[in-house]
Structure 1
């Protein structure tokens, strides 16, 4: 096959490209330039898409003896990832930019361009597996290494995208073995630190980044009865489940910590309350994407709402354009804007964007019931 290897300049994508070459594919490396003003050097494990990263990717491609190109996708990245990120926070939601990047850049813009140029697949350094099902179709599964599994951020891929995806590291037992393989191959990135946090906010100051983009939008921090406890400079500085940095002037009457329960950007209010009010019994999600036939009727599944979160048993059901999920085990700190990924065993069935939740408070001990009050339905 003709394979387009996405090479970020890190160890995972370099080894993935090497394995694709070893498998006998005709491989071409491509580095996606996503930053309009790339820095010269990374700061440890922070940031990506720097000049250093592009040079590291080129050196790896040269060592593998494959053609290498840099494609400027910065306009797509700004529009589809950065601007989307800002708009979601402004609307009181909590997005995952890595999910959006995989959906709209790596497996939309990049894959579409690759297919148009005659490539059969895109190979990346993600830790996930594409297996052939009993009906001959491609299935997306969790990686062999549960600690590195990245299937959650890939759950937004549709069936056609999964069919054209290649994840050579999916069967790798551990990341340490991938680094050891890179060293044996003589790849100069063998010990390069992994990148963390949000790539376009290399200093890690998400609140400062959003403040620069959105300006001050002052409002009030209130309790569940509407009593004003403090003020803030923008609801975008908060996420559901947040405990620190709430700007509260006095403790709760019982002395227990408060947490963000909901965010109302129109009224400019942030509602806080006790930890038990964070427990969620049900989810309502929109814009579902399936890489298999959409489920008919209620189905027993496992769902995951964070990249490194634990999957929990649930019942999922499509009701018109929405996905409704009853959780067998309540989850905490679930926010609108997050992605809910749906699994059957190790297989990813699809995903949707959380639009609202139902609190487990008052639902008794029967996990997964629909009892409770709405915490956030924006």
Structure 2
């Protein structure tokens, strides 16, 4: 099998490429240049896809004695990930750029180019498992849930899964991967994992947004509309946030207030008590199925829903439903006629907290990923009397 190994410069992708070579595949390594500033340097575990990462990937490829290339996807990355990130925050939403990168770059642009060049599969260092089911290729959680990355792969379609290769899915711990890398002589065996948003390497999202979005001061209000403070830009806040509100008056009960919603049109930030963050249902579009789930419009099915990469999944019931006119927003820009609606099973779990429009919800059945959607609205749970 001809395999294109996506090599980020980290230990996971290096070991994945090594395993592909060891399995007897014809492997070529490629590093994606995503930054529009090619001289960008890495700082510890902050960021990724820097010039240093490219050099680390090349050294690993040389050790494995495989061809290695650097492909410049920076223009596509800016348009599909960075600009989308900015637009979503401007609309009062909280996007997940890693999901967009996997959807638009690593498993769309990269995979399309790989197939056009005659490769059979793209190998990455993600911790997830692929199996062949009765309906075709299925995406499942990794054997070690603590390292499982199936959530960020939930955007993959059946056609994409058919050309994916995840050599690390059955490895129970990252320590074993590091030990294997050291045994193979891979220099990045102890390289720190990257975290935070790759194009915001210092981790200051609010500061970065200040440089890319106009900020206008406005009102912080409670749910009744009473003004209780001011802000210096609504796009610098996100649902569930507590710190940085700098309110001039305490809540009547003395408890902390949290951001409940962002109103970009009126430039208001709405705050309230923590229990008002609890939601019982959510709905949204931009959905996709990871395989062939065989779900008809209007059919209700049991599942688990996960709303963050490291969140626990919670039991729920979901359905694919027509978009009602009263619920249609500018986010239905693709003209979709259907959306996914999820009701959290409150008999088995507590309500979800701090669910923000723009986040990605991934649906599971057991360990299998069914699909995903972008949350457009969250319906609060009933408040106990």
Which secondary structure does the structure 2 equivalent of 1:190 belong to? Answer: helix
1:304 to 297, 303, 306: 306
Alignment partner, residue 368 of structure 1? none
Distance 1:361 1:237 in 2: 28
Cα distance in 1, alignment partners of residues 9 and 370 from structure 2: 30
CA distance, structure 2, for counterparts of residue 227 and residue 363 of structure 1: 23
- Matching of residue 102 in structure 1 with residue 102 in structure 2: yes
| Contact kept? 2:218, 2:233, Cα under 8 Å | yes
1:69-93 CA-to-partner distances (Å, cap 9, x unmatched) read 0000000000000000000000011
8 Å CA contact retained: 2:215, 2:234: no
Aligned equivalent of 1:323: 340
The answer on 1:285 being equivalent to 2:287 is: no
CA distance in 2, matches of 1:311, 1:348: 12
Segments of structure 1 that go 5 or more residues without pairing to the other structure are 365-378
TM-score if structure 2 supplies the norm length? 0.93
Give the superposition deviation at 1:40: 5.0
Contact 1:156 1:351 in 2 (8 A): yes
Equivalent position of 2:194 in the other structure: 195
Matched, 1:216 2:215: yes
Whether the 8 Å CA contact 1:38–1:49 is kept in 2: the answer is no
Cα distance in 1 for residues equivalent to 2:39 and 2:358: 30
Other-structure match for 2:206? 207
- Residue 340 of structure 1 is matched in structure 2 by 361
Contact 1:28 1:66 in 2 (8 A): yes
1:355 aligns with 2:376: yes
Q: Aligned with 2:189: secondary structure?
A: coil
Within 2, Cα distance between the matches of 1:162 and 1:61? 25
What do you get for the CA RMSD once the two structures are aligned?
1.1
Alignment-derived partner of residue 90 in structure 1: 90
Task: Mark the runs of 5 or more structure 2 residues left unpaired by the alignment.
Answer: 323-337
Contact residue 275 and residue 383 of structure 2 kept, 8 A: no
CA apart distance, 1:362:
3.2
Instruction: Assess if the C-alpha contact under 8 Å between 1:283 and 1:358 holds in 2.
Output: yes
Shift of 1:323: 0.4
Q: How many residues align?
A: 363
Partner of 2:332: none
- Asked whether the 8 Å contact 2:77–2:101 carries over to 1, the reply is yes
Q: 3-state SS of the aligned residue for 2:188?
A: coil
> 1:237, CA displacement in angstroms?
0.8
Deviation string for 1:127-176 (max 9, x for gaps)?
111111134x1100001111111111110111001111111111111001
Q: Quote how far apart the aligned CAs of 1:248 are.
A: 1.0
Q: Quote the Cα distance in structure 1 between the aligned partners of 2:373 and 2:41.
A: 36
Q: Distance in 2 between matches of 1:205 and 1:51?
A: 21
TM-score, length of structure 1 as denominator length: 0.94
